[in-house]
């Protein structure tokens, strides 16, 4: 199988690789330095197999003007093709955010959401 065919293989979550997407009842605030990049009460939590849970923030609740789309893309056989955004002006801000604009059906609830690398921004879950 060629690298391209391998990179684009599509898989469906199941018992050997479960994925769940559930609403997060908490307020989720994402900041880069002193600047709030996103603030929402509508995040969804994606739990994939044994990986750490990821908060997906609706684009409507993010400061898109603070982000720059990049040409970087990656492929997940369970979720689809990810596009990336950078946060200019911060350390390690390049490609710090990813989004699945046309996710696989099994994870359709992450469409129009953004996810952030937790080692590049601060992600807080709050009860308020």
Where do we find the tokens 């400061």? 63
Instruction: Give the CATH number of the domain where residue 81 resides.
Output: 2.170.150.40
For residue 53, give its domain range: 3-126
CA distance 43 to 21: 10
Domain count for the chain, please give it.
Answer: 1
> Which parts of the chain have pLDDT scores under 70?
1-7
Quote the pLDDT of residue 7.
53
Q: Which secondary-structure segment (H or E) carries 128?
A: none
Residue found by looking up tokens 């492929």 in the block: 75
At residue 1, the pLDDT reads 43
- The widest CA-to-CA distance across the chain, in whole angstroms, is 51
On average, the pLDDT of the chain sits at 94
């Amino acid at each position: 199988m060629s690298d391209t065919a391998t990179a684009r293989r599509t898989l469906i979550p199941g018992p050997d690789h479960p994925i769940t997407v559930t609403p997060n009842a908490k307020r989720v605030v994402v900041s880069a330095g002193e600047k709030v990049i996103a603030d929402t009460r509508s995040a969804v939590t994606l739990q994939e197999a044994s990986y750490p849970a990821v908060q997906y923030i609706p684009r409507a609740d993010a400061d898109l003007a603070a982000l720059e789309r990049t040409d970087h893309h990656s492929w997940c056989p369970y979720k689809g093709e990810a596009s990336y955004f950078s946060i200019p002006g911060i350390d390690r801000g390049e490609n710090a955010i990813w989004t699945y604009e046309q996710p696989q059906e099994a994870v359709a609830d992450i469409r129009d959401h953004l996810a952030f690398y937790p080692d590049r921004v601060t992600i807080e879950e709050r009860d308020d």
